[in-house]
Structure 1
Amino acid sequence: MTEQSAIAAPYSEAEQVGPLVRRVLARNPSPFTYTGTQTYLVGSGCDVAVIDPGPDEAEHIDAILAAIGDARVSAIMCTHTHRDHSPAAAPLAVRTGAPIVGCAPLTLEDDGPRADAAFDAHYRPDRILTDGETVSGDGWTLLAVATPGHTSNHLCYALPETGALFTGDHVMGWSTSVVAPPDGDMSDYMESLAALYRREQDTVYYPAHGPAVEKPRQLVRGMIGHRRQREKQILRQIEAGRHRIDEMIPHMYKGVDERLWPAAGRSVHAHLIDLERREIVVHTDDAWSLHI
C-alpha cells in the first residue's frame, strides 16, 4: 500500500481544498481506498452539492451534515455505485430531503477479491445524468462527464467555475484504478482516459481516494502509457510460456503487496479481453495464446 503520509487524514472534518470545494474524509482506509473515501461538498452559498457521500457510516454522515450546516443540499451525486461511494446517499437524502442525482444504478453481483468491488444494490437515483447534463446551484455548476471503464456506470463531474474535475475512481493520484470484468472494461477505460486527456479546460482533479492531481493531463498521459506497457508485459509473459493469469501475476507484480494480486489479476484479465477483441490474443479454456 502506498504510504499514507502523502495526504493528511483528518477524519470527519471538513477541509477547504479549493475554491467552492470542501472535503470530508470517511474512516474506511484499506489497500484499495488509501486513507478512505473523500466526500466533496461543492458550493459556498445558500446551497451545496454532495459528491460521493461514501459508506453508510454514522460518523461520516454526521460529519457531512455538520459541514453542510444551514445550507440546502441541491443534489447528492455519486460517481459510481461501489459500496465505498454510494451507500450513504440514501440516509443522507432522508435527512436532508435532497434528490440523489448522477450515475445509473447497477446491481451486478461481484464476488471478486476486492474490498471496494461489491456494488451497492440499494442505490436508487431520483435522476440519472448522461454525458453533458448539468446540475447547478448558487454560484456552481456540475457537468456530467461519462467515463465508463472502472465500472460501466462511472461518471466524473466538472466544475466549470474553477476548472476542477471530480474523478471518482477513474483517475486517482495515489494508484491506478482496478478494472475488473465482467463490468469493468479495459477498452472503455482507455477510451475514457483519452476523452479526459482531450479536456484541456480541467486544471485540477479531485479523486475519491488520494491527493488532488495538480497536473492532470500529464498524469493521464502517463496512465495511458502505463496501460500500454502493461499490455506489452502481458504479451511477453505469453511468449515466455505463461498462458494463465495466475502464472503471470507473480512475475508481473514482484514487490507488490500480495493482498493486491487477486485484484491485479482481474485487471490483467481485462487487458486480455481487450487484446482478444483486437485479435492479438486468443482464449481457450483458462489459457491465453498469441493470435496466429
Structure 2
Amino acid sequence: MDFVTLDEDEFTYGSVADVVPGVQRVVAQNPSKFTYRGTGTYIVGDRDVAVIDPGPQLDSHRDALAAALDGRTVRSILVTHCHADHSPLAAWLAAESGAPTYAYGPHAGAVDEWDIGSLPDDFGRAPEPAPDDEDGAAEPKVEESTDTEFVPDAIVRTGDVVFTLPGLEMRALHTPGHTSNHTCFSLSSGDAGRVLFTGDHVMGWSTTVVSPPDGDMGAYMDSLRLVARRDDDLAIPTHGAPITDPSRFVTQLVEHRVERERQVLDAVRRGLTTIPAMVTELYAEVRVELHRPAGASVLGHLVKLVDDGLVIAADSGRPRLDSTFAAA
C-alpha cells in the first residue's frame, strides 16, 4: 500500500487552512492511535458553507470552528458517521447556526447486533507503554466510542443533494462497512473538480477498522469497490491528508483486504482455530499492543467467511472474538 502521511509542519491545530479551492480544514487537537493527527473538519464554500464532520466534544475545537465560521452562513452540516470523533459538535453547530444536519441515520443500535464476546485479558497487552505510532502506520487502530445521541435532521440516501450553490453541488454516497450508517459526500465544483469526502471509509494514512457487530466486512468490500469505480479527482478523509488518484489507491485497498481474507482462510484451514492464534501469526510484525484491535479486524473477516460458507464458528451461533473456528 502507498500510504499518505500528513506531516506535523503541514497544519496547525485550531487554525483554518485552504486544502483545495473552496475547501478549508480545521484540525481538532485529538491526535491518537485511531484519529492520527486529529479530526479534520472541512468547510466547503465561501460565504454560504457546508461543514463536514464537526468533530469531537472539545472546547478548543469548538472555539476554532466558531472563529473559522465567523461572518459565514452555515447551510448544511454533513456527518459521515457517528463515532465520537466525528459527530458530537454537530448539535452545537446546528443550535448556533440553525442549519440542518444530514446523515444516513443514527447509530444502528441493537438492530442486528449480537454479543461478540471478548479476547483474553492478557492478549495484546504490551509489557511496557509503547511509543506513539509511526507516521503512516498501516494496521487497524482502536476506535473511539459511539455518539449514540446523534440523530440527523435529514436522512439521506445515495444521490441525495445535501448542499448546492451556483457552480457547486454536493451529494450523499452511502458506504456501509466501517459502520452501517457511514456515508461519504461528493463535491462537484468548477474550482475544486470532483472531490469525495471519505470520512473513515478510506483513510490515506492507515487501513480502516471494520469491527462487528456494526462493522460489516462484506459491505465494506462492496463499498470500497463502489468508490474505486468512481472518477473522483481527489479523496479527502476526515483524518489525514488528501489522496490523489483515489481510484488507484482504493483499488490497492481492495487488493489488501482480499489478501488479508485469503490469509485468514488459509490460517483456519491450517488448523489455527482461535483469533489470538491467527493474530499472533498474521500480525507478527506488528507491535503487540495493536494485536487487540487487529483481533476485531480478523473477526470482521471471519464473519464474512462464515457468511460465504467457507468457515464455521464451531462452538457458537454467530462468530465471536472467543469462538473456535474451523474450515467448512
- Which of the five TM-score ranges fits, normalised by the shorter chain? over 0.9
Note if contact 1:38-1:54 (Cα within 8 Å) is conserved in structure 2. Answer: yes
> How do residues 122-141 of structure 1 correspond to structure 2 at under 5 angstroms?
122-139=149-166, 140-141=168-169
Q: 2:25 aligns with which of 8, 23, 26?
A: 23
Note if contact 2:5-2:241 (Cα within 8 Å) is conserved in structure 1. Answer: no
1:36 aligns with 2:73: no
Per-residue displacement from partner, 1:196-225 (whole Å, max 9, x unpaired)?
11112x110000111110010111110110
C-alpha separation in 2, matches of 1:48 and 1:258 = 44
Give the length in aligned residue pairs: 288
Stretches of structure 2 lacking an aligned partner (at least 5 in a row): 120-140, 316-322
| Match in the other structure for 1:171 | 202
> How do residues 89-128 of structure 1 correspond to structure 2 at under 5 angstroms?
89-106=90-107, 108=109, 115-128=142-155
Q: 2:272 aligns with which of 238, 242, 254?
A: 242
Q: What amino acid sits opposite 2:174 in the alignment?
A: A
| Match in the other structure for 1:274 | 304
Relative to the length of structure 2, the TM-score reads 0.83
Q: What amino acid sits opposite 1:287 in the alignment?
A: T
Which range is displaced more, 105-114 or 219-228?
A: 105-114
C-alpha separation in 2, matches of 1:135 and 1:3 = 29
| Structure 2 counterpart SS, 1:269 | helix
Distance change in 2, residues 1:3/1:259 (3 Å): farther
Stretches of structure 1 lacking an aligned partner (at least 5 in a row): none
Note if contact 2:108-2:181 (Cα within 8 Å) is conserved in structure 1. Answer: no
C-alpha separation in 1, matches of 2:5 and 2:52 = 25
| Match in the other structure for 1:290 | 327
Relative to the length of structure 1, the TM-score reads 0.93
| Match in the other structure for 1:189 | 220
> How do residues 198-277 of structure 1 correspond to structure 2 at under 5 angstroms?
198-200=229-231, 202-277=232-307
| Structure 2 counterpart SS, 1:254 | coil
**Which has the higher relative contact order, 1 or 2, with Cα contacts under 8 A spaced 6 or more apart?**
2
| Match in the other structure for 1:80 | 81
Which runs of 4 or more aligned residues in structure 1 lie more than 6 Å from their structure 2 counterparts after TM superposition? 109-114
Query: Percent identity between the aligned chains?
Result: 42
C-alpha separation in 1, matches of 2:56 and 2:227 = 27
C-alpha separation in 1, matches of 2:236 and 2:28 = 15
Q: CA deviation at 1:233?
A: 1.0
Q: CA deviation at 1:3?
A: 7.2
Distance change in 2, residues 1:9/1:255 (3 Å): farther
Q: CA deviation at 1:6?
A: 7.2
